C-alpha cells in the first residue's frame, strides 16, 4: 500500500511538470500570434507563474541546502587543519624552549670549564635520575672507557653537585651533595674570609624545603656573613681544594644556642640540571 501511494505521488508530479511545460509552450505560441494576450491566455500565464514559484521554492531550497552543506564541510576541514597547525605550533614552541634550556646549560658549562684550568675535564649527560632517589644520585653517560674513576668530583652550572661513587664501562653513578644516605659521601668545605682564618666544616645534610645545603661540624661562626663564598677545603683527600660550592645564606644555632650551622645556597640548582662536568686534578698543589 505504501509503495502504491509513493508511485501515485510520482505520477502526479510528472503530470504537473508535463502540464506546466505544455502550458508554457502554448503560452509562447499564443503570445507570438497576438499583440496582447486574451483573458484565457493571461489566466494560463498566471497559473504558470504560480506553478513555477511552487516548483522553484523547493528547488532553490535544495540548492541552498546543498551550498550550506558544502560550506559546512569546508569549514570543518579548515577547522581541522587549523587545529593540526595549532598542535604543531605548540610542539615547536616546546622544542624551542628545550633547546634554549640546553643552550643555556652548555654556556654555563663552558664558563665553568674555563675556570678549571688546573683540572682535566670531561662533559657528560645525565641519562637517569630516579624520582624515588631524586636528591641522592644520578647516572651519567661516561664510564671507565672515558677515563672516569671513583671519587672524582662532579660539577654542573657554576658549582659542585656530587662525587662519582660507582663506575661502569659506559656509565657512572654520581652521589649528589644533597644526599643524606652516607657520611662517606660528605664534602669537606670552608668559608672564604679575607679578614681571618677560613671557617671549615662539612656539608652535613640538605634542607629540601629551603633548597639549602647545611654546613655542620663548624668550630666557630665568628665573622661569617651572608654572601661569603663556600669552597671545598681539600681535607679528607677525596676532593681537591677550591671547587665552588655556593654562598653563605644564613648562620643558625641549635635550639639550645650551642652548636652552630651555616646554611649555604648552592651555586647550582640541584633539582634541575642535565649536563655535568667530571673533573680530575692534573696539577698538584702543595
CATH match for 120-281 among 2.40.10.340, 1.10.10.10, 2.40.50.100, 3.30.2130.10? 2.40.10.340
Query: Are 192 and 215 a contacting pair, CB within 8 Å?
Result: no
pLDDT score at 276 = 92
Which residues on neighbouring strands pair with residue 126, listed in sequence order? 140
pLDDT at 240 (0 to 100)? 83
Q: What is the pLDDT of residues 227-271, one digit of tens each?
A: 999 998 888 777 888 889 999 999 987 665 667 889 999 998 888
- Residue 173: pLDDT band with limits 50, 70, 90: very high
Residue range(s) of every CATH 2.40.10.340 domain in the chain? 120-281
Query: What is the structure's pLDDT at 5?
Result: 47
Is pLDDT above 80 for 197? no
Q: Given this model, what pLDDT does residue 38 score? A: 54
pLDDT digits over 25-52, tens only?
Answer: 665 555 555 555 555 555 555 565 565 5
> Residue 234, by phi and psi: left (phi above 0), alpha (psi -120 to 50) or beta?
left
Of these ranges, 24-33, 78-87, 196-205, 209-218, the one predicted with the greatest mean pLDDT is 209-218
Distances in Å between the Cα of 35 and the Cα atoms of 11, 24, 159 are 37, 17, 108
C-alpha cell at 117: 684550568
Say if CB 183 and CB 207 are below 8 A apart.
no
Amino acid at each position: 500500500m505504501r509503495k502504491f501511494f509513493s508511485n501515485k505521488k510520482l505520477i502526479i508530479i510528472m503530470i504537473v511538470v508535463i502540464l506546466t511545460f505544455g502550458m508554457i509552450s502554448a503560452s509562447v505560441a499564443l503570445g507570438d500570434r497576438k499583440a496582447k494576450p486574451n483573458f484565457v491566455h493571461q489566466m494560463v500565464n498566471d497559473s504558470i507563474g504560480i506553478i513555477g514559484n511552487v516548483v522553484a521554492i523547493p528547488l532553490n531550497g535544495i540548492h541552498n541546502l546543498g551550498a550550506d552543506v558544502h560550506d559546512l564541510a569546508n569549514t570543518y576541514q579548515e577547522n581541522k587543519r587549523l587545529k593540526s597547525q595549532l598542535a604543531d605550533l605548540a610542539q615547536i614552541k616546546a622544542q624551542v624552549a628545550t633547546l634554549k634550556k640546553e643552550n643555556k646549560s652548555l654556556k654555563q658549562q663552558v664558563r665553568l670549564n674555563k675556570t678549571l684550568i688546573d683540572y682535566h675535564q670531561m662533559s657528560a649527560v645525565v641519562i637517569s635520575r630516579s624520582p624515588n632517589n631524586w636528591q641522592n644520585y644520578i647516572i651519567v653517560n661516561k664510564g671507565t672507557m672515558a677515563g672516569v674513576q671513583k671519587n672524582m668530583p662532579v660539577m654542573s652550572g657554576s658549582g659542585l653537585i656530587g662525587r662519582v661513587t660507582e663506575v661502569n664501562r659506559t656509565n657512572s653513578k654520581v652521589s649528589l651533595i644533597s644526599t643524606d644516605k652516607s657520611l662517606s659521601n660528605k664534602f669537606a668545605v670552608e668559608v672564604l674570609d679575607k679578614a681571618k682564618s677560613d671557617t671549615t666544616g662539612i656539608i652535613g645534610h640538605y634542607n629540601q624545603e629551603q633548597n639549602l645545603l647545611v654546613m655542620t661540624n663548624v668550630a666557630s661562626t665568628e665573622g661569617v656573613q651572608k654572601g661569603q663564598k663556600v669552597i671545598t677545603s681539600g681535607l679528607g683527600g677525596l676532593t681537591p681544594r677550591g671547587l665552588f660550592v655556593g654562598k653563605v645564606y644564613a648562620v643558625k644555632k641549635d635550639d639550645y644556642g650551642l652548636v652552630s650551622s651555616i646554611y649555604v645556597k648552592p651555586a647550582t640548582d640541584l633539582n634541575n640540571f642535565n649536563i655535568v662536568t667530571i673533573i680530575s686534578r692534573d696539577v698538584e698543589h702543595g
